[in-house]
Homo-oligomer: A and B are copies of this chain.
Amino acid sequence: MKGNVLVGQSGGPTAAINSSLAGVYCTAKELGADKVYGMRYGIEGLIEGKYIDLSEHLENELDVETLKRTPSAYLGSCRYKLPKVEDNKEVYDKIFEIIDKLNIEVFIYIGGNDSMDTISKLSAYAAEIGHAARFIGCPKTIDNDLALTDHTPGFGSAAKYIATSVKEVICDNNCLQYGKGLVTIIEVMGRNAGWLTGSAALCQGEDCEGPDMIYLPEITFDMEKFLAKVKGLLAEKSSVVVVVSEGIKLADGRYVCELGSNTDFVDAFGHKQLSGTASYLAGFIGGSLGCKTRAIEFSTLQRAGSHMSSKADIEEAFQAGSAAVSAGVQGESAKMVVFERISETPYLCGTGLRDVHKIANDEKVVPREWVNEEGTYVTEEFAAYARPLIQGEVIPVMVNGVPRHLNKAR
């Protein structure tokens, strides 16, 4: 390639987004890029002129390996919605000024739905003004809700962390006997898509019965049916474990978490901030049945749990970054790298490219047929789909008893 590469990370971080950054860097260097620049804090930082030369950060192979084991977004991230050109052309002028100044041939943005909107807008604008730079999206989200791709880097590692942690909680609960029973409600991220919540089922095996119920945001939640189900289970066993999505809603459209609090925080994209679902349901069950309850929220641990990341995921994230650079160098633009599953057994997956305009702002949810009729558990089809994505481990580099992260950018 003749020009340079500019890469940014956007949206909520994952355990795999830095592996995609490593993939971008290594492949760009291999393909002859003189410089690989990284936006600080995504497009928002770039507009303020903040970027770094990645060569100064990834000085050797060990740096690259450590980066792949580092959670969060190494470059910094943002939640910034690019305005439409007609509303604010100056922002576009600023971005393209930096692109020209840095001699950028390929612009890569690693992110989810909202980030693909950025690639969509920038590539459309470049086409409009006849600019030669190419704009490629690299998928990332623990939510696995991007359209047109089999799955999304970041999901597998979060799913592995969740399946492992749910398994440990179930095991822990089983050792004590509780007079009126113990009901544990575990809350998992995923506003509208239940991929992560469903992954809790992956802890099921010869040594673990799995959670008793799994409630996805795709299925309307019924408080009375839930209560009856818990009551029935408590008649049979001492510990009941329920996994719920933060985004479960009642028939009237209200989020369950809204029943418990008055907070109404909305982020830059107009999304409501959800939290407190488990805590509300634990209170509801305890109050109704008089049993002991426990609410567990995995919070940001589920997206930052690099110490339990999936090898399949970390390698595919690297591959996605690599494919994004290659696509751009080959002249592609306005595309997002996608994963295409070639075979289920053995699991084989390759990358492809899809029109980013068709992906942006769209959400892929769990198909109804992958949830049981009652809406209280995922099916074996769901597990067969998700299981390959949590296979293998990337052993952390341990220093002084804790995992070492790459942290030169701060």
A interface residue numbers (CB < 8 A to B): 9, 13, 41, 44, 70-79, 160, 163-165, 167-169, 171-177, 202-203, 205-208, 265, 279, 292, 294, 296-297, 299-301, 303-308, 310, 387, 390-393, 395, 398-407, 410
Chain B positions within 8 Å of A172 at CB level: 13, 71-72, 300, 303-304
Q: Give the 7 A-B CB pairs with smallest separation, nearest first.
A: A390-B401, A172-B304, A168-B304, A73-B175, A207-B407, A72-B175, A72-B171
Interchain CB contact (< 8 A) of A300 among B71, B294, B403? B294
Q: Beyond A172-B13, A173-B300, A307-B168, is A205–B400 a contact (Cβ under 8 Å)?
A: yes
* A292: nearest chain-B partner, CB-CB: B265
Smallest beta-carbon distance A68→chain B, Å: 14
For A297, list chain B residues within 8 Å (CB).
296-297
Whether the Cβ atoms of A403 and B304 lie closer than 8 Å is no
B208 close to A164 (CB less than 8 A):
no
Partner of A207, one of B75, B79, B405: B405
A205 to B399, CA, bound (A): 9
Q: Report yes or no: A163 in contact with B401, Cβ–Cβ below 8 A.
A: yes
A402 B77 Cβ-Cβ under 8 A: no
Which chain B residue shows the least CB distance to A160?
B401
A163 to B400 Cα, complex, angstroms: 11
Q: Is A175 within 8 A of B77, CB to CB?
A: yes
